[in-house]
Amino acid sequence: MAAAARRRRTGPPDVEGAGLAHVEQGRTVFRQLTTEENLRVGRHPEAELSEAYDLFPELVQRRCSSPSLLSGGEQQMLIIARALHGRPKVLLIDE
């Protein structure tokens, strides 16, 4: 019974603490932020922006751009890089 109660209470803080990150299908970027600001959201305290740019060098030239100006593929790179920036143990990608 206690295990079932714990599962019902699971929310974003619990998921983050468990080392999970989720990339949603709908390209959920923060359009009011720049690409670089999007990468800073939810990042691990020890994560460096250079790690994201090393994985996805295409984002370097777009770092000051609004994510709404990125192509669909670039938006996906941004979302995946943002999720990885939290240094999850498991990355769930919903496509």
Question: The dihedral of CA 47, 48, 54, 60: what is its sign?
Answer: positive
Answer whether residue 77 is part of any domain. Answer: yes
Q: Which pLDDT score is estimated for 22?
A: 79
Answer whether residue 1 is part of any domain. Answer: no
Model pTM score: 0.76
Answer whether residue 50 is part of any domain. Answer: yes
Answer whether residue 13 is part of any domain. Answer: no
Identify the helix (H) or strand (E) that includes residue 93: strand 90-93
- Cβ proximity of 62 and 74 under 8 Å: yes
Q: Which pLDDT score is estimated for 3?
A: 57
Answer whether residue 8 is part of any domain. Answer: no
Identify the helix (H) or strand (E) that includes residue 8: helix 2-8
pLDDT in tens, the chain (95 residues): 555 555 555 555 555 566 888 787 777 888 899 999 999 987 888 888 999 999 999 999 999 999 999 999 999 999 999 989 888 898 888 87
Strand, coil or helix: what is 45?
coil
Residue 76: give the domain boundaries.
30-95
Number of domains comprising the chain = 1
Answer whether residue 68 is part of any domain. Answer: yes
Answer whether residue 57 is part of any domain. Answer: yes
Distance CA 36, CA 38 (A): 5
Answer whether residue 63 is part of any domain. Answer: yes
Distance CA 36, CA 40 (A): 6
Structure tokens at 26: 């709908």
